[in-house]
Amino acid sequence: MTTQPQSRAFTVGKCDRMVAADMLIEEDRVELIAARRRPFTVGEYYRMAEADILTEEDRVELIAGQIVAMSPIGSRQAACVKRLNLLMGKMVGDSMLIGVQDPIALDAYSEPEPDLVLLRSRADFYAEAHPSAADVLLAVEVADTSIDYDREVKLPLYAHAGLPEVWLIDLQESRIEVFARPQGGAYQQRVEITADATATVTSPTIPQLTLAAADLLG
C-alpha cells in the first residue's frame, strides 16, 4: 500500500497571518478554513516563506496550486538518490548540471522538487532563479511509498510542462519506468525495466546515459 502526500492544512492563526500580510483576502481566508481548495501561485508560496507561515521544517512542494506535504525520505530512497547522483555524474561529466531535490519552476502554480534532475549547464548554476521546465533534460522520482502519487499526479504535470524525459524508480517493486515524448499532457513512450543481472536503463533523449538497473536499485 502506498502513502499519498496530503495537501497542507492551514490553522485559523496562519490564515489570519496571511490576511495581515496581504496574501489573502477575507473571502479566501474563509475558504481555506473551511478546507475548500484555493490555488496558490508560486509568488504567494514564497511570500508565505518570507512571512514564516511556511518554514524550513515544512517539507512541502507546490503542485497545481496546492501546497502538498512530501512523504518522509526513507533510508532506501536516500541511498538510491545518492547512487543516481554518483553514477549520472560519471556519465554526463560537466556537460550538464545535477540537481538533487531542488525546486523546478514548471509554471505559475507548480514548483515540484524531483529527487534528481539533469539540467542544461549554466555559468551561474541557476543562482538568479530556479530552473524552469525548459532547463530540465531529465527528471527522476524515487518512490518507496508514493509511487501512485508520482505516477498519477506528478508525471502528468511533467508531461504538460514538456519535460522531455522522466524516470520513475519504484523501490518496492524493484522497477524503473522511463517516459519520453511528451504530447498533449501525456508521455507517448514508456519503457519498463526490472532489476536482474543484465538489465540496463538507457535514456531515449541523452545518448551517453546508460546505467545498470541493479546499480540504481541496489
pLDDT tens figures, 38-53? 688 999 888 888 888 8
| Top-confidence residue, 68 or 161 | 161
Residue 173: its pLDDT value, please? 93
Would you say residue 34 has pLDDT above 50?
A: no
Distance set, CA 84 to CA 37, 77, 121 (Å): 36, 11, 18
Residue 134: its pLDDT value, please? 97
Residue 71: its pLDDT value, please? 83
| Top-confidence residue, 63 or 9 | 63
Would you say residue 27 has pLDDT above 90?
A: no
Residue 21: its pLDDT value, please? 63
Would you say residue 96 has pLDDT above 70?
A: yes
Banded model confidence at residue 11, pLDDT cuts 50, 70, 90: low
Residue 18: its pLDDT value, please? 57
What's the rounded mean pLDDT across residues 84-109? 96
pLDDT tens figures, 113-163? 999 999 999 999 999 999 999 999 999 999 988 799 999 999 999 999 999
Residue 112: its pLDDT value, please? 96
- Average per-residue pLDDT for the chain: 86
Q: Which domains does the chain have, with CATH numbers?
A: 12-69 (no CATH), 75-217 (3.90.1570.10)
Rounded to whole angstroms, the Cα distance separating 55 from 73 reads 18
pLDDT tens figures, 167-205? 999 999 999 999 999 999 999 999 999 888 789 999 999
Residue 50: its pLDDT value, please? 87
